[in-house]
Every structure is written in structure tokens, then in C-alpha cells.
Structure 1
Amino acid sequence: MNGIGIAGSGRIARSFATRLSDAGISAATFGLGTPEGGGDRTQRAAQRFTAGLGTLILVPADIAETEALLFEEQAFARNAKSLGAIVIAATLSPRYVRALRGRIDARIALIDAPVIGTGRAAEEGRLTMFLGGPLDVIQSLKPVFDLLTRKTVRMGGFGSAMAAKVMNDFLAATNNAVTRIALDWAEAQGIDEARIVEMAGRGGEGSEAPEDAPTFCPIGQQTEDSINHLVHEVEHAFDTALAGAHLTPPRAFETVMRSVKARHLH
């Protein structure tokens, strides 16, 4: 399989490149870098990357990097003349992702492919990937997806996978918010909160989350960054809400998470 390229600084980009290489599939890379720093993003590197590029697997850290890679500094969506498909393997705002269809030439197929799993799962090919986009293109790329993941699930047309991933993460975020409230109540009453967590199956000793579990930080191991991540999950979920949707409970969860501080089990 020829003409595959992986670009971006998302945490699983290097794992994707390594797994394809180990399987004997040559994939060009751009911007992956190393854990210690970013990769070469010069104009010359971009030109080498786009030569013969047929399928771009985009693994951006955020929307800003997506814009840079597709439309601004590197502008792969315009400059890669042989490009036939773009696979977006990241969790981004569903509203933003759907809008990409109107900004990219119709000849280029778009597939949104957010994943569920940890960095280690990516290294071992145990990710679950949601897929949205043309069925024929997804089927043609199945050998690649099979090397990168343990399981793929097609959700529908382009944008549907991102919405499904956000809803999946939203369930985890709201569950975390309610658990946090319960732990605060337990602490106020002098109850050993570690026992509450253990009974709830949410992080007691020897307990591990399922491999397919949403990527949230367990209660008892929270940091400011992980709490901010949960808030972003709720914000992304609002992108998928239809006009007239009942948003009272989600807004309440957002308020709860914005007000909490990082905590660890005593």
C-alpha cells in the first residue's frame, strides 16, 4: 500500500507510524518528532511529505494544529496534489469537523476517526476507532485500520464518528462529576472515601479500567489538566446538541466541573 502519510503531534501519531513500519508499510511522516521535542516542519520537509501523498492520516493535538496542517503553514489540503483521502484521527469539536467538508475540495474523501484508548493501547494496537465517512473509502483503508486498532466501528457519514466519540466522552465526564459530588459528601461525613471508590469499582487497588473505557482521569488521580479535559468534553458535547435540546442537566455538570479543584484520595 503506497502513498500513506502521517502528520501531527497528537500522542498516538508516533505509535501509528511505528505499527505501519513494523507491518512493512512505508508511511511518510511530518511533525511527529520525539517525546523530547517537535519534528521538522520546514517548507522542504512539507514538500518531501506531500510528494506522492495519497492518504493523509492527520493526528493533530488540537484545532490550531489542524488549521496549520490543512490550510495555513503547511496547507496540505491545497498543496498535496495527489491527495485522495484525509483521515482525522483526533477528538475535535464536531461542529468544526463537519465544517471541514465545505473547506476541502470535494475530490478528497474525508473520514473522521477518533479513537478510544491510552498511549500504551495505541502502541499495542488495542485502540477502538470510530469511523465516519464514505463506506467505500473506509473499506479500502480497512487493512490500515486493522493494523492500528483492535476494533473499528463505522458510525455513518463524515462527522458522525466525532459526534459519537464526544457523546462517549460526555458520559464519562458526567459520571465523573457525579462521583466527585458523592466523594465530597462522603468526606464531609467522615466516611473513608477510598472505600467508596473501591465499592464503586472506580479505582481501588487492583482495579483497572476496561481497555475500551473512555479516556478520563480516575477520581483520586485528578490534576488540574484532567479536570480541564473533562470540561472540554462537555463543551464538545454541546456542539452536537440539536436546536431545542434540553441542556439543563449538562449545563449543571459543566458548572460543577468548572468549580472543582484537583484532589487525591487521602
Structure 2
Amino acid sequence: MRRIGIAGCGRAARPFLDHLRKAGVAASGYGAALGPDTGETAAETFAAGIDTLILLPRDIAEAEALLFENEAFAKTAPDLCRIVISATLSPRYVRALRGRIAARITLIDAPFAGGARAISDARVSFFLGGPVEDLRHMAPIFDHLGRQAIRMGGFGTAMAAKVMNDFLAASSNAMTRIALDWAEAQGIDEARMIEMTGDTFAQTPAAFAQEIIEFMQPGSGGEFSVSTLIKDVECALDTALTSAHLTPPGAFETLFGSMKSRAIH
């Protein structure tokens, strides 16, 4: 019987655990973001009960702690045969994990695209990287968590694809923000500009406006914040080949660093 463990403080950790339990999957959780009612209090208890670990860390530091340092699940879970990394991390870091984790443990990278509502409604889209047979084995799990899961290639390709996808989205959001600033400076009504732009990109004005509002919200720490745009560019640069032309991405990184969040009118 498949025994799933979800570990980490990523925003999707608790919803993912709830989705799996609702579907009748034997799943347990470890991490503060999962709340006190997950039934797990000790790392040893959690590690002893899983054969598949879905990792949802906030960053590389937490991934290191969960896999190798504090909890060290990659070393201490006796029956562990599969680790699924379902967070957006540096592709270079993720690929290097293959040389640090026992060969008997299959590694799958499965970052996803989708905001808080998509996570809550199990409508995220997974980028998958890993052996075909193992991904086929995990397909029912991804079906419970999202609306689609597409294999990009071998382990590590999904993370690279995800950060490039984020880079495209970040660039679009940032350029939209700049265009709105220019429009405002020329006395153009912002709401009308958003309505027309939403139509241009085949998106409802309401949905388009909501994206821009979230991105511009002062103090925002969410997925549309300026700091996240910078992270998206950094991760995209991390995937670049040695001979790649890096001038446009580098310019975006500098541009995003100078941007300030503001509320939409």
C-alpha cells in the first residue's frame, strides 16, 4: 500500500494533505504549515511510516534541513523509495540532489503552476520530471492534487521548465505594470486600460485586473510580488547554458529590483 508523507512549510502543504486524505489516500504530514491536527509530532514517527515523500519546502535551506540535516528524511526513512520535490527551487540545486541521495530512491521533480485558489480547488498544473514508470505510478496522486500533469523529461527538466515558465509570466506582469504607469502619466484611465488589455490577451478584464492588483499590492509577499519577480529571473538565469545570450534576462533583473509595489486605482 502506498504511504505518502508531505513535509515542508510551503503554502500548498496543508491543502495537498487535505486533498489526499479526502480521496482516501494514506497520507501523513510533517511541518508547522500543516497544523497541529495532522497526527504527527516527531520526525522519527513520520519517517517510519512513509515510502513516498512529497517535499514542499519554502526554500533551499528548508529542503536541506528536511533531506539531510535536522530531520534528514533522505537518510532516516527506512522504507523510503521515492522523493517528489514539489516546490520551485534552483534547477542546478535540484539536479545535484541525484548525486547526494541513495540510488535506490527515485527522484521526481514536480513543481506546479497555480495560485492559492487553484491549490485549494486542486486545479494546479504540474511540471513533471523523472522516470516514466515512476510517474505512471504517481499519476493517481497528481490527479488528486491538480487538473493536469505533464512530463517534461528526466529528473531536473521539470524544474527548469517551471522557472522558465515563471520568467515568462514575471516579464509579462512587470511590462504590464510599466505600461500602466506610462498610461497614468498621460492621463489615461487605468480601469479602461486594464479592460482593453484583458481583451487583447483573451482574458476577462476582471481576471486580468485581479492579477495586476495582487502584483501591485504594497507589502505583498505573495507570488505576484516584486521580490518574487526577482527570484523568478534569478532561477531562469540558473538554467542558462554557458553560451546563452543573457543580456535581456540580466536587464530584467535590474529593472525589477528598482520597481516599487503600488495599489491599483
- TM beyond 0.5: yes
| Partner residue, 1:261 | 260
1:47 Cα offset (Å): 0.8
* 2:78 corresponds to 1:69: no
1:219 Cα offset (Å): 5.1
TM score, norm. by length of structure 2: 0.89
Q: Residues 114, 228 of structure 1: CA spacing in aligned structure 2 closer, same or farther, 3 A cutoff?
A: same
| Partner residue, 2:146 | 149
Q: Residues 123, 32 of structure 1: CA spacing in aligned structure 2 closer, same or farther, 3 A cutoff?
A: farther
1:93-172 paired onto structure 2 within 5 Å: 93-172=90-169
Q: Matches of 1:85 and 1:243 in 2, distance apart?
A: 32
Unaligned runs of 5+ in 2: none
1:223 Cα offset (Å): 4.1
CA RMSD of aligned residues (A): 2.4
Q: Matches of 1:89 and 1:99 in 2, distance apart?
A: 16
| Partner residue, 1:191 | 188
Q: In 1, are the aligned partners of 2:164 and 2:236 still within 8 Å (CA)?
A: yes
Q: In 1, are the aligned partners of 2:213 and 2:264 still within 8 Å (CA)?
A: no
Q: In 1, are the aligned partners of 2:194 and 2:205 still within 8 Å (CA)?
A: no
The 4+ residue runs of structure 1 with deviation greater than 3 A are 32-35, 37-42, 215-225
Deviations 1:66-111 (A, max 9, x none): 0110000000001112110000111111111111111111110000
The one-letter code of the counterpart of 1:24 is G
Q: Residues 228, 80 of structure 1: CA spacing in aligned structure 2 closer, same or farther, 3 A cutoff?
A: same
1:120 Cα offset (Å): 2.3
Q: Residues 265, 124 of structure 1: CA spacing in aligned structure 2 closer, same or farther, 3 A cutoff?
A: closer
1:217 Cα offset (Å): 6.7
Q: Matches of 1:174 and 1:222 in 2, distance apart?
A: 19
Q: Which moved more, 1:4-13 or 1:188-197?
A: 188-197
Deviations 1:149-195 (A, max 9, x none): 11000000001001111111100111122222212222222222232
Aligned to 1:208, the other structure's residue is in SS state: helix
Q: Matches of 2:5 and 2:205 in 1, distance apart?
A: 40
Aligned to 2:207, the other structure's residue is in SS state: coil
| Partner residue, 1:208 | 207
> By percentage of residues, which structure has more helix?
2
Q: In 2, are the aligned partners of 1:126 and 1:150 still within 8 Å (CA)?
A: yes
Higher relative contact order, structure no. (Cα contacts within 8 Å, ≥ 6 residues apart): 1
Q: In 1, are the aligned partners of 2:28 and 2:38 still within 8 Å (CA)?
A: no
| Partner residue, 2:228 | 229
* 2:22 corresponds to 1:25: no
1:126 Cα offset (Å): 0.9
Q: Which moved more, 1:50-59 or 1:215-224?
A: 215-224
Q: Matches of 2:92 and 2:37 in 1, distance apart?
A: 28
| Partner residue, 1:85 | 82
Deviations 1:45-72 (A, max 9, x none): 1111111421001111111110110000
| Partner residue, 2:4 | 4
Q: Matches of 1:245 and 1:259 in 2, distance apart?
A: 25
